[in-house]
DNA sequence: ATCATATTCAATAAATATATTGAATTATTG
DNA sequence: CAATAATTCAATATATTTATTGAATATGAT
């Protein structure tokens, strides 16, 4: 049956990592390899499986083959599944909430609050993902401060505006680290209770 | 990873059939066997897999072990996945729309229309699933007319009220058959564009 | 207790999925 | 057109999944 094939195609830890990576935007095989610690050939084979099952599509440019998720509908489905996992699969719920004091309401900001803050112009929205991911798509108004840049150059932000950091999704800890770091420096900073791909789906639905 | 385990547990054709069956209500192993043409031991083993992965839960009563879906949250997730499949997986879309002229708007009724018709009291809502499935849960106001009863006894309905038939879900053809049969007898009859489990989730959300 | 019935368990064989290796393609650049 | 770089393909070994068979439990009835 076609549904079971599709589900098989996404029910492998490596391929789920690929999907998470591609949720941030298209990547070539090298990019996938870096995001997942698979070998090159192995990554390529998994990508073939996903292509044959309509999970991803490809675009050729010079030497490179760029992979991306097949549709926004699929991205939305993947987020439904992930949300279920974070809420209902005990093991994952624990992992996500593990060392994240940030997820209490004191330290996290909802999309609604963020929109409010943006219209009021008193927020600096930090995208702490790698620069390439920012370039292939980000929340409107965000600035790119990849974690390594934040750590090494310790940029100065205006102390009077509030900071909000976000990253890849519920399993991404970068934003939490950024919050911790900046808090210690005396900034007013919170984590976005959401991520770029979730924001993207929200935009499509409104 | 826990998410891939959960997805593996639902990405098998037999287990998907089990989930579809349990979407209609709890069943013992014998009931699953009848709904899926697996052998007894095989069904039991698949049920163990689903139990160990928090897809189903059990209740013991005398000799029997009754299985049911673990939560309404899971039922909702399964429906999201199914809806995606029907819309986006070409092969399935074709299958469902195959010989279903019923799915054009002339021959199908949305939940909203149905609610309207029910308040206006001029509809006879026919549940054409097996009697046990009706008993373990049905759309409020429906009457149970299993397909075999409909065919053999050819019940007389009031010719002045409109008939609406429903069954298990998008892959269930019983309601289409009922529509065809009753149409030939001169009734005004349409198929519900939805099913009992979808109605159940709607109720929970409102 | 003994028996019958519903379900689970254990052992097996066959099929499928996965990671690794190295060779084969394909497109670009000089 | 040769050289290079990115990707895919093919072959293989290992691990996992699946269905089948028959035996083992557990529960209720006689």
Instruction: Convert the pLDDT of each residue in B14-48 to its tens digit.
Output: 999 999 999 999 999 999 999 999 999 999 999 99
For chain B, the average pLDDT equals: 91
- Are A101 and A151 spatial neighbours (Cβ–Cβ below 8 Å)? no
Tell me how long chain B is: 206
Residue pLDDT tens, chain A, 206 long: 789 999 999 999 999 999 999 999 999 999 999 999 999 999 999 999 999 999 999 999 999 999 999 999 999 999 999 999 999 997 787 777 765 655 566 788 999 999 999 988 889 999 999 999 999 999 999 999 999 998 887 767 777 789 999 999 998 999 999 999 999 888 999 999 999 999 999 999 88
**B28/B30 Cα distance (integer angstroms):** 5
Contact A2 B73 (CB under 8 A): no
Q: How far apart are CA B174 and CA B191, in angstroms?
A: 10
Give the pLDDT band (50/70/90) at residue B105.
low
Interface of B with A in 53-72 (CB under 8 A): 54, 71
Q: Name the pTM for this structure.
A: 0.93
B140-151 tens-digit pLDDT: 999 999 999 988
**What's the burial of B204, exposed, middle or buried (CB within 10 Å: 0-12/13-18/19+)?**
exposed
Which of A193, A75, A79, A196 lies closest to A139, judged by CA? A196
Q: Verify whether the Cβ–Cβ distance A7 to B81 is below 8 Å.
A: yes
- Nearest-neighbour CA in chain A from B87: distance (Å): 10
**pLDDT (0 to 100) of residue A116:** 92
Chain C nucleotides covered by protein, CB below 7 Å: 5-10, 17-23, 26-29
Which nucleotide is the nearest neighbour of A11, by CA and C1'? C17
Does B49 contact chain A (CB < 8 Å)? Answer: no
CA of A41 to C1' of C24 (A): 13
Q: Is the pLDDT of residue B137 over 60?
A: yes
Q: What is the mean pLDDT of residues B174-189?
A: 91
Distance from CA of A95 to the nearest CA of B (A): 10
User: Which residue would you say has higher pLDDT here, B164 or B91?
Assistant: B164
Segment B182-196 mean pLDDT: 92
Identify the band that residue B99 occupies on the pLDDT scale cut at 50, 70 and 90.
Answer: low
Q: Is the pLDDT of residue B156 over 70?
A: yes
B interface mutation test: which of A11, A69, A79 has the most B CBs within 10 A? Answer: A11
From the list B10, B81, B92, which residue is nearest A2 (CB)? B92
**DSSP letter string over B108-157?**
EE-HHHHHHHHHTT-EEEEE-S-HHHHHT---TT-EE--HHHHHHH----
Per-residue confidence (pLDDT) for residue A103, from 0 to 100? 55
In tens, the pLDDT along B51-64 reads 999 999 999 999 99
- Give the residues across from B127 on adjacent strands: B144, B166
- Residue with nearest Cα to nucleotide C21 C1': A41
- At residue A142, the pLDDT reads 95
Residue to test with chain A: of B49, B74, B84, B96, most A Cβ within 10 A: B84
| pLDDT score of B128 | 96
Strands (E), B20-142: 27-28, 56-61, 64-69, 108-109, 123-127
CA-CA distances (angstroms) from residue A122 to A21, A125, B24, B61?
31, 10, 52, 61
Q: Give the span between the Cα atoms of A36 and A21, in whole angstroms.
A: 8
Which residues of chain A make contact with B10, given a CB cutoff of 8 A? 7, 11
pLDDT at B100 over 80: no
First-to-final CA distance of chain A = 34
CA A56 to chain centre: 17
Give the separation between CA B62 and CA B81, rounded to whole angstroms: 35
Percent of chain B with pLDDT over 90: 75
């Amino acid at each position: 049956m076609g549904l079971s094939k599709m589900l098989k195609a996404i029910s492998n830890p490596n391929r789920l990592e690929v999907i998470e990576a591609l949720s941030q935007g298209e990547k070539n095989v090298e990019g996938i390899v870096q995001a997942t610690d698979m070998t090159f050939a192995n990554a390529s084979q998994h990508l073939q499986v996903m292509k044959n099952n309509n999970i991803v599509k490809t675009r050729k440019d010079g030497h490179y083959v760029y992979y991306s998720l097949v549709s926004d509908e699929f991205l939305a489905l993947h987020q439904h599944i992930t949300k279920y996992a974070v809420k209902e699969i005990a093991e994952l719920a624990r992992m996500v909430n593990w060392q994240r004091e940030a997820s209490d309401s004191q330290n996290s900001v909802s999309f609604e609050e963020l929109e409010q803050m943006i219209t009021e112009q008193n927020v600096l929205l930090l995208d702490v993902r790698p620069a390439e991911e920012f370039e292939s798509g980000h929340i409107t108004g965000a600035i790119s401060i990849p974690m390594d840049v934040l750590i090494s150059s310790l940029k100065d932000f205006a102390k009077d505006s509030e900071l909000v950091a976000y990253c890849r999704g519920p399993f991404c800890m970068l934003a939490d680290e950024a919050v911790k770091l900046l808090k210690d420096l005396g900034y007013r900073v919170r984590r976005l209770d959401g991520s770029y791909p979730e924001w993207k789906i929200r935009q499509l639905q409104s």
